[in-house]
Structure 1
Amino acid sequence: MNPMIYLINKTTFQQYEDITVNIKPERLNVFIKKAQDLDLKPFLGHAFYYDFLTYFNEDGSLKDETPQHYKNLLNGAKYLDQYGHIILYEGLTPTLVYFTFARFIENDAIHYTPTGPVIKHHENGDPLSASAIVKLVQQQRSTANAHANEVEKFLWENKENFPLWRYNQKNNSARQAGPRIRGIDKTDFNYPGTYNNYNLSITEFLN
């Protein structure tokens, strides 16, 4: 069996969110794996995702022979869109970070006991209410989806470099499995050709 490749780690994570240093990397890796398998893979498509992984070393670093367009996809780049506007693309990393963070918050609040799951209690503070946890998780998913929209735009604008990427409308709803509170942003970027009527931006909203 091939070893699991983690595209981000605790150090990467801390560039975006202030998480306690006491969180063990192996615990965070559990949620990174879930985000990669259940959020990123459906979003990119399986063929594209697995081809992307072939350019990573086991420690999560990019191989020397990685094409520049794959490096740009992960790390971000400055490029011109079809209208000649300069776009500052942040890369795929923040999308994965915030999908991971949402899953971490959602699961870290629960402790599994022999008699069933319970809300954790902490010595240095009171646990958040279930509704507050749900709202916080939704906020992180909304942030992840906002970054994912930028990834989609980058892929459309540079689609000649990513022949394995196929847009599937289900990819947007597949960013998070299970029932979610969602809203559809009807923004139309008016792309030419076969995706002229494609509504690129999918966001979540809070009631």
Structure 2
Amino acid sequence: MTESQSHGFLFEEQVKQGISKYLDSVTINYTNKWDIPPISVKSFKFDISKSNNRVYFGSIENMFKIQDGFFLALIGYEQKGRVKEVVFSDFIFIEVKDLQNLKGELELKELEMLSTKIKSFKEGFHEEAREWYKSILPEYSMKTSFQINFKVDSKKQRRIQCSLTIEELYKKLKRELILVNKLNINNIDSNPRERNTLG
């Protein structure tokens, strides 16, 4: 595990340790196969002066395969030197209707088709891959609230992820975004993440 990945696991450990009281406080009508729905922990850089703070959900195909409600633990932090200082945290139950509202009219089979297509571009054909996805992106982006993020580099990276601004997420969930550390997450010592520049 790289240091750029480890901070997510450190935040996740804190959520696991203190989650029971939040589970007890949420009333759920269990209509799915889980006794306790899964918990997704998302930590992300948060700039209090900006309105485009973004939550990254990973693979868009995996997101669209979810058919049940789940808990979303959010941790927004500011990078101050070596310290990730928690600005806010929240614990939300995403109901099936909420998830469907976020997905919109975009269908999993369309995403699978896009995934197959982007993976068909071999190593060295990254410029062609980028030209292709930029040409089709508007058509599919208008169908969903998620931002569709194609990941293509000059080597073999060919995948599709998704994200949402925190403001759009709360708007869609009809919740008020309050900058309070509701989960009492501690700051962690962790260097700024260094992202690879795509070739």
Q: TM-score range by the shorter chain?
A: under 0.3
TM-score of the pair, normalised by structure 2: 0.24
Looking at secondary structure, tell me which structure has more helix per residue: 1
Between 1 and 2, higher relative CO (CA 8 Å, sep ≥ 6) is seen in 2
TM-score of the pair, normalised by structure 1: 0.24
